[in-house]
Amino acid sequence: MNKDVYTLGMDRGWNIIDARSSTQVMSSPDVIIIGSGAGGATAAAALAKFGKRVLILEEGSLKTAKDFHNDELKAYAELYQEGALRTSKDGGISILQGRTVGGTTTVNWTSSFRTPASTLSYWRTHFGIADAQEDLLRPYFERIEQRLHIERWAASPNENNAVIQRGCDRLGWQWDVIPRNVQGCWNLGYCGTGCPTNAKQSMLVTSIPEALDHGAQLIHSTRVQQLVWDNDRVTGVICQPMDSHLHDTQGDVIHINAPLVILAGGAINSPGVLLRSQVPNPHRTLGRRTFLHPVCMNMAVFDHAIDGFYGAPQSIYSDEFNAIPDGPELGFKIEVAPMQPSIVSALMGEFGEQHHQRMQQLANSNLMLALMRDGFHQDDPGGQVELRKNGDAVLDYPLRAHLWATCKQAFLRMAKVQFAAGARSVMPVHALGQACTSLAEYETHLQQLPMRIFDVRLSSAHVMGGCGMSQRPEDGVVDPSGRHHQLHNLYIFDGSIFPSSIGANPQMSIYAWTQKLTEALIERLR
Partner 1 sequence: MNRRSFLKLSLGATIVLVSVGGTARFFQRSRRTSASGYQVLRAQDLLFFSALFPAVVGPHPHFHMDTALASLDRMLTASSPAMRKEVYDLCDLATFALTRGPVTGVWSGWRQISVEQASAFLQRWQHSRISLYRQGYQGICQLCQMAWYGVPQAWHAVGYPGPPEFLQRLWEQ
Which run of H or of E encompasses 293?
none
Contact range with partner 1 by CB under 8 A, out of 1-9, 13-21, 372-380, 410-418:
1-9
Listed ranges 9-17, 171-179, 188-196, 318-326: which one lies at the site for partner 1 (CB under 8 A): 188-196
Considering only residues 196 to 255 of the shown chain, the ones binding partner 1 according to CB under 8 A are 196-197, 245-248
Facing residues of 15 across strands? Answer: 217
Which span (75-83, 111-119, 202-210, 417-425) binds partner 1, by CB under 8 A?
A: 75-83
* The binder of partner 1 chosen from 152, 255, 355, 488 (CB under 8 A): 355
365 in Cβ contact with 300 (< 8 Å): yes
Which residue, among 371, 411, 381, has the nearest Cα to 284 in the 3D structure? 381
Among 117, 253, 432, 440, binds partner 1 (CB under 8 A): 432
Which of residues 191, 312, 394, 423 is near partner 1 by CB under 8 A? 394
Query: How far is it, in rounded angstroms, from Cα 216 to Cα 232?
Result: 27
448 binds partner 1 (CB under 8 A): no
Q: Determine the Cα–Cα distance for residues 386 and 379; give it in Å rounded to an integer.
A: 21
Binding of partner 1 by 353 (CB under 8 A): yes
Backbone φ and ψ for 89, nearest 5 degrees, come out as -55, -45
Give the length of the chain: 526
- Binding residue for partner 1, selected from 392, 441, 443, 475, defined by CB under 8 A: 392
Query: CA 31 from chain center: how many Å?
Result: 25
Phi first, then psi: give them for residue 467, nearest 5 degrees.
Answer: -135, 50
455 near partner 1 (CB under 8 A): yes
Give the nearer residue to partner 1 in terms of CB position, either 327 or 352.
Answer: 352
Closest separation between CB of residue 71 and partner 1, Å? Answer: 8
Residue number, 413 or 430, with CB nearest to partner 1: 430
Could you write out the DSSP letters of every residue in 162-206?
HHHHHHHHHHT---EEPEEEBSS----S-GGG--TTS-B--TTTT
| Interaction of residue 159 with partner 1, rule CB under 8 A | no
The residue from 180, 457, 483, 516 that contacts partner 1 (CB under 8 A) is 457
**Secondary structure (DSSP) of 304-335:** S---TTSS-S--EEB-TT-S--SSSS--EEEE
Check residue 473 for interaction with partner 1 (CB under 8 A).
no
In 365-430, which residue ranges form alpha helices assigned H by DSSP?
401-420
Q: Does 91 bind partner 1 (CB under 8 A)?
A: yes
Sign of CA dihedral 478, 481, 482, 483: negative
Is the distance from CB of 106 to CB of 100 less than 8 angstroms? yes
Question: Does 4 engage in binding with partner 1 (CB under 8 A)?
Answer: yes
Is residue 78 part of the contact set for partner 1 (CB under 8 A)? yes
434 lies in the binding site for partner 1 (CB under 8 A): no
x-marked contacts with partner 1 along 307-346 as a string, rule CB under 8 A: --x------------------------------xxxxxxx
Residue type, 148: L
Q: How many CA atoms lie within 13 A of 267 on its CB side?
A: 37
Compare residues 71 and 131 and give the one whose CB is closer to partner 1.
Answer: 71
Stretch that binds partner 1, among 86-94, 216-224, 267-275, 323-331 (CB under 8 A): 86-94
Q: How many residues bind partner 1 (CB under 8 A)?
A: 59
**Amino acid identity of 190?**
Y
Residues 6+ away with beta carbon under 8 Å from 149: 181, 182, 183, 201
Which part of the chain contacts partner 1 (CB under 8 A), choosing from 63-71, 274-282, 418-426, 516-524?
A: 63-71
Residue 387 touches partner 1, criterion: CB under 8 A: no
CB of residue 162 to partner 1, shortest distance in Å: 19
Indicate whether 446 belongs to the interface with partner 1 (CB under 8 A).
Answer: no
Closest distance between partner 1 and the C-beta of residue 271, in Å? 17
Residue 509 C-alpha from the chain's centroid? 11
Q: Which of 132, 362, 403, 464 binds partner 1 (CB under 8 A)?
A: 362
Pairing mode, strands 365-372 and 490-492: unpaired
CB of 269 to partner 1, least distance (A): 12
Cβ distance to partner 1 smaller for residue 165 or 221: 221
Tell me how far apart the 2 most distant CA atoms of the chain are, in Å: 68
Shortest Å, Cβ 501 to partner 1: 24
Q: What is the dihedral of CA 450, 452, 455, 460, to 10 degrees?
A: 130
CA dihedral (211, 215, 220, 223) positive or negative: negative
In the complex, which residues of this chain contact partner 1 (CB under 8 A)?
1-2, 4, 65-66, 69-73, 76-78, 82-87, 91, 188, 190, 196-197, 245-248, 309, 340-346, 348, 351-357, 359-360, 362-363, 388, 390, 392, 394, 431-432, 452-455, 457
